[in-house]
Amino acid sequence: MSKIIATAAIRGANRLYREAGELLEKAIAEKGEGYRFEFVDTAFYLPMIYAMTGFPVKTLGDMRTALGFARELLHEEPAEQIWKPYLGEALDSGMATLFAEEIWLAARTVLGLEPAVDPETGYVYNGFITDTIQRNLGIQLVDGTMPGFAAIIGAAPDDDTAVKIVSELQEKNILTFLSGNVNGNSVTKQLLRKGVALGWDSRIVPLGPETQHTLYALDWAIRASLIFGGKKPGDYKAHLKYQKDRVFAFALVLGELNDIIWTTGAGAINMGFPAVADTDIPVVHPTGVCIYEEVDKEFDHSKIVQKAIEVRGLKIVVEKPPIPVSYGPAFEGERIRKEDMFIEFGGQRTAAFEWVRMREMDEVEDGKITIVGDNWKELYEKGGKMPLGLVIDVAGRKMQKDFESVIERKVHHSINEAQGLWHMGQRDLNWIRISNAAKGAGITLEHLGLIFSTMMRHTFRSIIDKVQVTIYTDEKEVTAMRDEARKAYTERDHRLGAMTDESVETFYSCLLCQSFAPSHVCIITAERLGLCGAYNWLDARAAFEIDPTGGNQPVPKGQLLDSRYGRYTGVDEYLKKSTGGAVESLNLYTIMENPMTSCGCFECIIAIVPEANGVMIVQRGHQGMTPAGMKFSTLAGSVGGGMQTPGFMGIGRNFITSKKFLAGDGGIKRIVWMTKNLKESLKEAFDARAAEEGVPGLLDMIADETAAEDSEKLLEYLSGTGHPALGMDPMI
Amino acid sequence: MEQKHKIKSANEAAEKIIEWGVSQGLVTCFERAEKMKPCPIGESGACCKVCHMGPCRLVGANAEEEARGVCGANVSTIAARNFLRMVAAGTAAHSDHGRSMALTLLAVGEGKTDDYGIKDPEKLLRMAAILDIPVDGKEMKEVARLVALKLLEDFNRIDGQLNYAKRAPQKTRDRWKKWGIEARAVDREVVEAMHRTNMGVDHDPDHLLLHALKTSLADGWAGSMISTDISDVLFGTPKPVQAQASFGIFKEDEVNIVVHGHEPTLAESIVDVVSEPELIEYAKSKGAKGINLGGMCCTANEVLMRHGIPTSGSFTNQELGIMTGLVDAISVDVQCIMPAIVELSKKFHTKVISTSEKAMTQGAVHISFDEHHAKESARKIVRLAIDNYPNRTKKGKYVESDKAPVIAGFSHEYIEYMQGGKWRASFRPLNDAIMAGRIRGIVGLVGCDNPRLPASGYFKTLALELIKQDVLVVTTGCGAGVYGAAGYLTPETAREHAGLGLLEVCEAIGIPPILHMGSCVDNSRILTVASAMAAEGGLSDEIGGMPAVGIAPEWMSEKAIAIACYFAASGVPVIFGGGQSPVAASKEVTNIMTNVWYERFLGCLHFEKDPEKVLSLALEYIDMARAALKLKKYEPGRFGTERVLMDMAARRDIGKSAKPHIGL
């Protein structure tokens, strides 16, 4: 039966190769062979061709060469009878298809046809996925909040089924890409008709109306091994093994299949991604190319998602509180506009706060939810706005006072992940909204309590044994409790401020990324948070308490060998062991010698600007040029993959205002260029640090993209502002 | 001779010709086998004729305990010595073939022949890498020269180890080292074998038999492997071809030339020249429509695997081919050429042409083949065949429809490719299929076919029974010839006969359930495949302990004994079917070959006449290996991989062995 698949895959590849060639020639006729092309915001040329062959396609002429690689992979269809083997040939054809599709999409982009626009509705598809989005999602890929990827090709039998399938994927936290169509109908259109929110925030990303657009999803996948895996372009075996072992993607094929779907599927199978269809197709069960089945079928749409997840070998543990709305990170990005809002709390409109408080075991009644306030039900039913004080009391034998803030930060995610609930801010600056739809589904204040008690106990299961929630609604009581909370906040900040690299005995490693970037190890110190910005020292400590064999391990500091550069015997020993000798020594406070390595999901990159005797900092997502002569995407390519690259380093944003920021190189005074975005978002803390360093106006002396995008202009600007770096000791 | 209606060949097309021959009073090996009963003393290994005080025959009720030769040798010594001599002869045959190939490669490298080139430079580079020969910047010819010189060391090195020994899994090599059977070089081991079996030298059966294993390793991991590799480099590494098999491949209106024997060098040149327009014109001038080339025996396998040249079949077909009356010339080189064909050819118009300086038969035309002027020799042979075409008579038994389609060409390289294509080539799917119980195990059904049995009969029944029980069959040599003629080497055979699990694998890849891997020297491909499976992981980490068995159901040649020994030494149990055990006279020797060897090497030899017992023994070894590897118990129709679903923690731990961060 597989012969049918192989035949279709081989035939489809031949067709796509031809079509790509035709479109490419058209583009060349229009623009010329030397026309330079790159997909928007990527450092990896045509990523699939680049990863597989190492050939960087830079011009339309290069595409001709690359299409030649596809031609070498084409085969003849197997004979009717006494056929020769076809599996290897079909997989090669699948790869030819991916190359041809990539060139076809590139040529379409050149001709102004991408991203595709739906002619009926005017809906603009996502098209090519940028490096920035890939890196933005980095931490979610590794910490389990985005455990897998689905590519849905085609259309469900009806709109409601489409919604059901996609909601199930959302609830399982899976990122879903949509492409292809069945006679013009597609899941994208089905969801649009049903008013389902599409986009990165809801984790449903329509790529384009044709099957060939699925390639954008595969281009996203292959960049995981380039960016996080540090695999070399052209080392196709390493890339494909990484994809098979670590990128948990699969395809759901809805509706009838054709040669193009089969051949695209054959390409995906090369990467270890299986496909499950809802029609009666031939199946391929023997394993080994994929981890489990390559091609399977499931007619029951209520089972197809689970089937696909299992066929890919994926385990998804979703803890969901017992509330009447959907729950999961896919709903986290959802906004509630005023007209959709039923009620709101805080946000300068009413008094509000949230406070996690450690209590003794006997002071907490597990699961108890108390709502304090006269007529609170009536007030809530009326909608509009009301005061809200959230006091979450936790107790546990392994609970520590320092973990209060770690748990409290979870309040934000816990609320946001409920569909129709929205949260921002923190502490006494919080702001919560409940939508009309959520109210209609039956959400009450008690559900807020349920969310906390379920999710806190789940997330922090080994440090919290009991959770009790008290919700205050009466203005007076809220303000009174808020005063108590404020005392606690102040005390906490004080303790945290006193926590320095010198004052703690232990640092922590962060190995969370090792599911994607197996050669990188983060060292998190009291004054240096993880480069992804998501984990600070307290988080790591709490994570270790929760799971002693998990992704965060204690690193005893050992002896301080070099106080200027921040070199500790314990850190060196740990790294030597945990990287198998790849990293022998680490200096925490310098960029110049044995600096920290990177996984690929750093928030910012620091790079040395030798001409200016300082460093520049650019954040992920900044698309402009920098004085280092490279854009973020290119710079990022030089720091990922667990390599120490003196002069370049990935960091978390908040490290910039740490006292230990490049302390050995001269600290923040070395910053000569920083994006406007960073300057604005860090202003308050930065100014305070600058004052401590004796240069109160430092922020304005630092250039940004409006002042300079090359080193010449930068120098001009710096001498104009009298930047201290120019007078400091040479960095090199 | 009494005319009973007894089946002589299980190949129906062959049987027709045999019967016709009998009606014509023609005598073939089938009739001679009936007339010439095996000598029971020699057959069981109890006859010693290594000196002229004898021959001594150690027979009698308590021969093993009491009988002694004139010198005092007991049965065990004699049986072991005879056996070792068989291994030495078999090893010599394959290895002399291998040496010719190495010398041909050297000639190409030194630019001394224009008639051959390097058809698979990638394979040559892979060989150079294995042999630690730096290649950067060197021309291919120079690489060829260096590779040839390096491999030639394997024939006459005095001390050290075979170049290719390192292709075996480390644990397999450790066993060789432990038991002192790391082979040094072909000539060294063969000479030592002949020395030790000479009158009055080595008398300890275990000690003699260890040397049999050592000698055979020089065959498998040097002589044969070198032969396979160099043939691939010079003539192309096989990949699947579709072709025809059996007697119907001959054409009534074309000049039929048969290449018979073992070495591919001459046959390749004949393949090259038969399409030359001058020769085709010449054939037409003699009234033929064209030139039709066919193979016989292992030469057939060589040119079938690489060019899809049709095969007229296995060893026992050689006389029958002539009896079709359509063979204008049969060119032979070395090994397995029955002298009978010369005599028989005189009753037809067929010319038998001997070509090797090593192998002459009285009455044959001799055209000496010289690899430095290969095409010239080839043209001479073709012209001679064409000249003979007008001499054809009506005499002969030929049925045009007696032929079957064949898919052949399963080299190590293609087997790896077919499991994942260019990008994902590996042995993972095969190992997975075995682990999941889709494939119960692997059996190599190899070796000669034999006129003493209903020829090819044991081959056919065993294969069908094995594939029905989800055992993947690989075949080489005459076994492959038998299966080709039987029509078993087609993907459709899986649908008709394979068990459900094996069928799923065959359908996924598009393969027949019986894979034709080449000639008898190409058994070396099975060694490298087994090594790759060990390296892939999930099964045994050495060749021994794999759910794999070798069966030579109809063996007759000393080469089969040598092959079986190198498989046993490498870790594969081998079962011989057919006639009497050549060591039956000694229980001690039998015990060493079965139990003692199995303990030491996880490989062993059995001689088992009853084909049903051959089958059950093979399955027993396979299931025993599965159990030892803690694989899913084989159950027909019930297979599949138990899924281990991965959460994030498990995903971080992929490849943790390299990063032992836990516990720090």
In a 3-state reduction of DSSP, which class is residue A385? Answer: strand
- How far off is chain A from B221, nearest CA to CA, in Å? 28
B646 → closest Cβ in A3, A143, A314 = A314
Domains of chain A: 2-311 (3.40.50.2030), 329-483 (3.30.1650.10), 506-727 (3.40.1470.10)
Of B505, B641, B648, the CB nearest to A147: B648
ipTM of predicted assembly, 2 dp: 0.93
Average pLDDT over residues B219-234: 98
Which residue in chain A is spatially nearest to B430 when comparing CA positions? A288
User: Can you give the C-alpha Rg of chain B in angstroms?
Assistant: 25
Closest residue in chain A to residue B502, using alpha carbons only? A286
CA of A368 vs chain B CAs: smallest distance (Å):
31
- Would the CB atoms of B490 and A82 count as touching at under 8 Å? yes
CB-CB neighbors (< 8 A) of A317 in chain B: 647
Residue B659: closest C-alpha in chain A:
A578
CB distance from B657 to chain A under 8 Å? no
Which one is predicted more confidently, A412 or B595?
A: B595
Predicted local confidence at residue B664, as pLDDT:
21
pLDDT for position A29: 97
Contacts of B68 (CB under 8 A, 6+ apart): B58, B74
Distance, first Cα to last Cα, chain A: 65
Q: How far is A319 from chain B (nearest CA, A)?
A: 14
Inter-chain touch B423–A245, beta carbons under 8 Å = no
> What percent of chain B has a predicted confidence (pLDDT) above 90?
92
Minimum distance, in Å, between the CA of residue A456 and any CA atom of chain B = 19
> What pLDDT is stored for residue B660 in this prediction?
22
- Cα B260 to the chain's mean position, in Å? 15
**What does CATH list as the number for B75-235?**
1.20.1270.30
- Asked, colleague to colleague, whether B75-235 and B411-628 share their fold, the answer is no
Residue-wise pLDDT tens digits, B464-523: 999 999 999 999 999 999 999 999 999 999 999 999 999 999 999 999 999 999 999 999
pLDDT of B659 reads: 25
- pLDDT of amino acid B5: 63
The token pair at A111 is: 């001709």
pLDDT tens digits, one per residue of A529-552? 988 887 889 888 888 887 787 788
**What pLDDT, on the 0 to 100 scale, is given for residue B654?**
62
**Which of A72, A174, A315, A316 is the best residue to mutate to test the B interface, defined by the most B CB atoms within 10 Å of its own CB?**
A315
**Residue in A with minimal Cα distance to B409:** A84
Q: For the domain with range B411-628, which CATH number is right: 3.40.50.2030, 3.40.50.300, 1.20.840.10, 3.20.10.10?
A: 3.40.50.2030
Q: Which residues of A79-108 are buried (b: 16+ CB within 10 A; e: fewer)?
A: eeebbbbbbbbbbbbbbbbbbbbbbbbbbb
- The string of pLDDT tens digits covering residues B94-139 is 999 999 999 999 999 999 999 999 999 999 999 999 999 999 999 9
Instruction: Kindly list the distances between the CA atom of residue A635 and the CA atoms of A29, A339, A730, A731, B62, in Å, as whole numbers in the listed order.
Output: 34, 43, 23, 20, 87
Q: Is B493 part of the contact surface with chain A (CB cutoff 8 Å)? A: no
**B422 in contact with chain A, both atoms CB, cutoff 8 A:** yes
Considering CB atoms only, which of B421, B433, B491 is closest to A286? Answer: B433
Q: Given pLDDT bands bounded at 50, 70 and 90, which one contains residue B648?
A: confident
Contact A83 B491 (CB under 8 A): yes
pTM across the whole model: 0.86
**Dist CA B209 CA A91 (whole Å):** 48
Which chain B residue shows the shortest CA-CA distance from A91?
B421
* Per-residue model confidence (pLDDT) at position A402: 85
Closest B-chain CA to A235: B423
Tell me the two tokens of residue B541: 């980490």
Confidence (pLDDT) at A176: 97
> How many angstroms separate the CA of residue A183 from the nearest CA in chain B?
30
- At B2 the pLDDT is 45
Asked if B431 and A288 come within 8 Å (Cβ–Cβ), the reply is: yes
- Cβ-defined contact of A79 to B242 (cutoff 8 Å): yes
Q: Which of B304, B424, B500 to mutate to test the interface with A (most CBs of A within 10 A)?
A: B424
Q: Does B310 touch chain A (CB under 8 A)?
A: no
Provide the token pair at A217.
Answer: 């999803």
What does the pLDDT read at residue A621? 83
From B508's Cα to the closest Cα of chain A, the distance in A is: 5
Rg (CA), chain A: 27
Q: How many helices (H) and strands (E) does chain A have?
A: 23, 23
* Cβ–Cβ gap B421/A90 under 8 Å: yes
pLDDT band at B661 (very low <50, low <70, confident <90, very high): very low
Whether residues A246 and B492 touch (CB distance < 8 A) is answered with no
Asked if A521 and B661 come within 8 Å (Cβ–Cβ), the reply is: yes
**Does the beta-carbon distance from A84 to B407 stay under 8 Å?**
yes
Q: Are B298 and B267 in contact (CB under 8 A)?
A: no
- Tell me which chain B residue has its CA closest to the CA of residue A145: B648
- Cβ–Cβ of B432/A288 closer than 8 Å? yes
Q: What pLDDT sits at residue B455?
A: 85
Cβ-Cβ pairs closer than 8 A, A with B, add up to 169
Best of B434, B645, B648 to disrupt the A interface (most A CBs within 10 Å) is B648
pLDDT value of residue B226: 98
B425 in A contact zone (CB under 8 Å): yes
Determine the average pLDDT of the residues in B299-312: 97
A-chain residue closest to B648, CA distance: A144
- Residue B145: per-residue pLDDT: 98
At residue B346, does pLDDT exceed 80?
Answer: yes
- pLDDT for position B409: 97
Q: Determine, for residues A551 and B420 on separate chains, whether the beta-carbon distance falls below 8 Å.
A: no
Q: How far is B440 from chain A (nearest CA, A)?
A: 14
Q: Measured between alpha carbons, how far is A431 from A335 in angstroms, rounded to an integer? A: 13
B420, B426, B507 ranked by CB distance to A1: nearest: B507
Q: Does B1 touch chain A (CB under 8 A)?
A: no
The pLDDT of residue B4: 52
Query: Smallest Cα–Cα separation from A419: which of A189, A163, A162, A125?
Result: A163
Kindly report the nearest CA distance between residue A350 and chain B, in angstroms.
Answer: 41
Give the three-state DSSP class for B374.
Answer: helix
Angle at B342 between CA B337 and CA B344, to 5 degrees: 110
**B611 touches A: beta carbon within 8 Å:** no
Mean pLDDT within B364-371? 93
Which residues partner with B445 through β-bridges?
B475, B551
Low-confidence stretches of chain A (pLDDT beneath 70) = 1, 142-144
Residue B510 is nearest to which of A3, A270, A580, comparing CB atoms?
A3
Q: What is the pLDDT of residue A329?
A: 81
Residues of A whose CB is below 8 A from B495: none
Closest Cβ–Cβ partner in A6, A89, A95 for B423:
A95
Q: How far is B12 from chain A (nearest CA, A)?
A: 21
CA A716/CA B322 separation, integer angstroms: 96
Say whether residue B495 is in contact with chain A using an 8 A CB cutoff. no
Nearest CA in chain B to A306: B645
Determine contact: B487 vs chain A, CB below 8 A.
Answer: no
Q: Which residues of B113-137 are buried (b: 16+ CB within 10 A; e: fewer)?
A: bebbebbbeebbbbbbeebebeeee
The C-alpha atoms of residue A36 and residue A60 are separated, in whole angstroms, by: 7
Amino acid at A172: K
Measured in whole angstroms, the distance separating CA A6 from the mean position of its chain's CA atoms is 35
Mean pLDDT of chain B: 94
- Could you state, in order of their start, the residue ranges of all structural domains in chain B? 75-235, 247-391, 411-628
pLDDT at A580: 80
Residue of chain A with shortest Cα separation from B515: A85
Min Cα–Cα distance to chain A from B159, Å: 39
The nearest CA of chain B is from the CA of A74 a distance in Å of 11
Name the DSSP class of B37.
P
Residue of A nearest to B649 (CA): A550
Looking at domain B247-391, does it have CATH number 3.30.70.20? no
Cβ <8 Å between B407 and A310: no
Share of chain B above pLDDT 70, in %: 97
Residue B662 has pLDDT above 50, yes or no: no
Chain B: residue whose CA lies nearest to A244: B424
